[in-house]
Amino acid sequence: MLVIKNATIYTPEPLDHPCDLFIEADRITQITSHGQVEPPATAKLIDASGLQLVPGFIDLQLNGAFGHDFTAKPETIWPVSAELPRFGVTSYLPTIITSPLETVAEAQNVLLRQRPAEFSGAEPLGLHLEGPFLNPQKKGAHNPAYLRRPDQEQISNWSPSQGVSLVTLAPELPGVLELVSQLDERGVLVSAGHSLATFDEALAGMRAGIRYGTHLFNAMPPLTHREPGLVGALLNDSHSVIGLIPDGIHVHPAMVKLAWAAKGSAGINLVSDAMAALGMPPGRYQLNDFEVHVSATDARLADGTLAGSILPLDEAVRNLIEYTGCPLSEALATVTTTPAALLGLTEQRGHIAPGLLADLGLLTPDLEVAMTICAGQITYNNQASETRI
């Protein structure tokens, strides 16, 4: 048994008194007022005094980290997963960008059949396939040689049971709405992105089953007052959620604040969109076929095109609070309850309650990650906060 004592708990809503949280195996078993229940003598105790206990973070868009790129080498999903808890991440979607369909199949095989024995780390919940059905005029850092026309045969085995959880596509492409409907029926979250869709084309995509927008404002036309486009459609639709990269580079802080006013915590999902340089020093790194030049602040192709980010998800939470002035509980929702609901996982993840997986983070008063627990196991500890009484 693992017991976290004297914690300020955010579920993500804050509880109004210090609590003790009990974990057996991979599950939360009970939450009590501090000192109400005496832990067993054999329990491992964590003193959480002065720390905030929060749900583990869920990242729906991560291209790689720690020098590894998932599209170039899908087998690196597992070593990256083991290191992600340092950012408070307890589950995520490894993202495969536009590439040959054989690469997608290889990544599916890695998830479904190559799980390491006794794995401990952030759980890969399924793939995010960003492409290949994107608009060539909004390709960003995707290789145009691999972009494809929508084809139902190509998605025949794209489903959560086959390791595919989210697909980003351009809703204006001919024939793509049939793919949207099929994927939605299978339980795949379908997202609009890398697109030149008009407002009406975006609405048609939403009627077909699109419920998400990939990195709002990026790789799509700007919002204008006579043609709101994809941005306007996503901001206006109460049923869709927008992915947002709040690094101060992909989106100006003022635009983050405007998006927040339109959508709130239930309509915004913070993502890192991080690439191989996350957790590494500046230098040159890979994003599929392209070399990316990484500075202390951003990642770009040689022509200056942004190529993912180097934003840790815990920093994204801190930035959102700084940009919008929102309370911690609402910022937490964007990386916990909101992504869990999008993936249909609220009975397992995304908040703190008895019976749920023990995916948890302990944050300092400055919202830095002090400790991360994945499925009941301590996977990152940056503090001398673990004690036995």
Strand (E) or helix (H) holding 265: none
Residues in the chain: 389
pLDDT reading at 386 higher than 90 = no
Both 101 and 229 in one domain: the answer is: yes
Stretch 191-210: mean pLDDT, rounded?
A: 98
pLDDT at 112: 97
DSSP 302-327: TTS-B-SB---HHHHHHHHHHHH---
- Please indicate, yes or no, whether residues 167 and 191 belong to a single structural domain of this protein: yes
CATH code for the domain of 215: 3.20.20.140
DSSP label of 173: S
Reading phi first (left if > 0) and then psi (alpha if -120 to 50, else beta), residue 144 is in alpha
User: What is the percentage of the chain residues whose pLDDT exceeds 90?
Assistant: 97
Out of 342, 359, 374, a domain closes at 342
Enter the pTM of the model: 0.97
Of the residues 20, 59, 247, 273, only one is catalytic, namely: 273
Give the total number of structural domains in the chain.
2
Q: How confident is the model at residue 384 (pLDDT cuts 50, 70, 90)?
A: low
Cα separation, 62 vs 287, in Å, equals: 12
208 and 96 part of one domain = yes
DSSP 292: E
Containing structural domain, residue 39 = 2-54+350-387
Encode pLDDT of 137-184 as tens digits: 999 999 999 999 999 999 999 999 999 999 999 999 999 999 999 999
Whether residue 205 sits in one domain with residue 289 = yes
Measure CA 193 to chain center: 16
CA distance 255 to 244: 10
Q: Residues 224, 317, 62, 292: is their CA dihedral positive or negative? A: positive
- pLDDT greater than 90 at residue 289: no
Residue 156: helix, strand or coil by DSSP?
A: coil
Same domain, 143 and 283: yes
The predicted-structure confidence for 8-23, as pLDDT tens digits, reads as follows: 999 999 999 999 999 9
Beta bridge partners of 52: 8, 363
Catalytic (active site) residue 273: yes
pLDDT for 267-280, tens place per residue? Answer: 999 999 999 999 99
| pLDDT greater than 80 at residue 259 | yes
Which residues 6+ apart lie within 8 Å of 27 measured at CB? 355, 356, 357, 358, 376
Cα gap 23→9, rounded to integer Å: 14
Do 300 and 306 touch, CB atoms closer than 8 A? yes
